[in-house]
Amino acid sequence: MAGPLEGVRVVDLSSMLSGPWAADILGDQGADVIKVEEPGRGDHVRLLAKDAGGLPVMFLNINRSKRSITLDLKSDGGIAALLRLYERADVVVQNFRPGVVDRLGVGYEAARAVNPRIVYLSISGFGEQGPYADRRVYDPVVQALSGLTTVQAGSDDVRPRLVRTVLPDKLTAVTAAQAVTAALLARERTGEGQHVRLSMLDAMLAFLWASDMGAHTLRERDVEPERAASFIDLIYETADGYLTVSTMRDAEWRVFCTAVGREDMIDDPRFATAAERDLNVDERLEFVQEQLRARSAAQWLEILPAHQVPCAPAMRRRDVIHHPQVLASGILLESEHPAAGPLRQTRTAARFEGTVPDPPRGAPLIGQHNVEVLREVGYSDDEIDALVASGAVGAEHHDAAPEGVAGLSAVPH
């Protein structure tokens, strides 16, 4: 595939979300991603509700632009085949629990022995050391341990609340993809690969420190319990719907007051400066809410932008895909998948003018590329037949692999 990572080969041993989506991002940017799965079973995500021609939608969205090969990593033949993939790979992505890949004989040292230039990414829940290192982990566990649930609650005295998306998983995936490209750049300079380690907990804490851990940044200051955030959030009711309005700067506060016909509030001492507006946040937001109930959302979305007030409708997911700004961005692509049928997905978020990526390829069927990939790394057809017969390689599509799944094209919506 064309793109900034064209020519980079990735072996994806991961499952669930963080690792697969990290590899998916690399694939969408042009890398050749080979997804290694368990014969007859595959990635756990394949076992979710099969609501798209036998494939779960989540699998379609985080495993596109890949080829699938099934290897039994408890067999000598499966391990040998994987090490042969390592020899010709640039990157390995794995998210087994710490120590598992080493016990299997396919960890970083084994990879480096056959390919010193390899970039080997290990994703874990909590890292390799510490009392939680060996524990199973899912997204809510990291949300809780990282403090994200109390950030979401708004106060140390309020019941912690989960963010209603798997933020640590997704954030780890994006961080992982960036780390891989950084390591590949370093390899171009030094000629050496390296082991990159990333935990979901570390990714989440680094994310929070940018804006949510200010009280803990200055070590010698006493830390007070986090005071309650405003009891009103920034989603406001209008006469017929919801929108958000932001008035962080003095100028934005002034033009908001002008837009709603309340210039008398511009010099109100409670709201005259950013600091005062923060101290009197509930009173300020109550005032904003009171004004916005007077008109419809559509009316405010005409009036407020005309006064340069930052605002937007609070969209339902089923409406987002039709919003004119979303359509104008070209972020949505339509494609045809031979198993799942018509799809709507997003393109790569970053736009590369010099190395324009091809449209993403459709997610593979399990083991779809067994023969193709094994031939590429030097196995003869007879050797492949023997591996399949022994169970080291899955028998999926061995006799007649379907055509076209990997080569799906997409067009802007």
State the Cα torsion 405-407-412-413 to the nearest 10°.
-10
Helices (H), 66-191: 76-87, 100-104, 108-114, 139-146, 148-153, 167-190
* 333 vs 220, more confident: 333
Per-residue pLDDT, 409: 41
Classify burial at 42, counting beta carbons within 10 Å of its beta carbon; exposed 0-12, middle 13-18, buried 19 or more: buried
Domain 9-208+328-412: CATH superfamily, name plus number: Crotonobetainyl-coa:carnitine coa-transferase; domain 1 (3.40.50.10540)
Using CB atoms within 10 Å of the CB of residue 76, give its burial: 0 to 12 exposed, 13 to 18 middle, 19+ buried.
Answer: exposed
Topology of domain 242-313 in CATH is: formyl-coa transferase, domain 3 (3.30.1540)
54-64 pLDDT, tens digit each = 999 999 999 99
Domain boundaries, the chain: 9-208+328-412, 242-313
Chain-wide mean pLDDT for the chain?
93
pLDDT computed for residue 89 by the predictor:
98
Say what the pLDDT of residue 398 is: 81
> Is residue 169 pLDDT above 60, yes or no?
yes
Contact 201, 126 (CB under 8 A): yes
Tens digits of residue pLDDT in 139-165: 999 999 999 999 999 888 889 999 999
Q: What would the pLDDT profile of 348-376 be if each residue is shown by its tens digit?
A: 999 999 999 999 999 999 999 999 999 99
Query: What is the Cα–Cα distance from 275 to 268, expressed in whole angstroms?
Result: 13
pLDDT in tens, 50-97: 888 899 999 999 999 999 999 999 999 999 999 999 999 999 999 999
The mean per-residue pLDDT over the stretch 16-34 comes to: 98
pLDDT tops 70 at residue 403: no
pLDDT surpasses 50 at 413:
no
pLDDT, position 228:
64
The token pair at 43 is: 């990635």
With tokens 């916005």, the residue in question is: 292
Of 152-161, 219-228, 244-253, 301-310, the least confident: 219-228
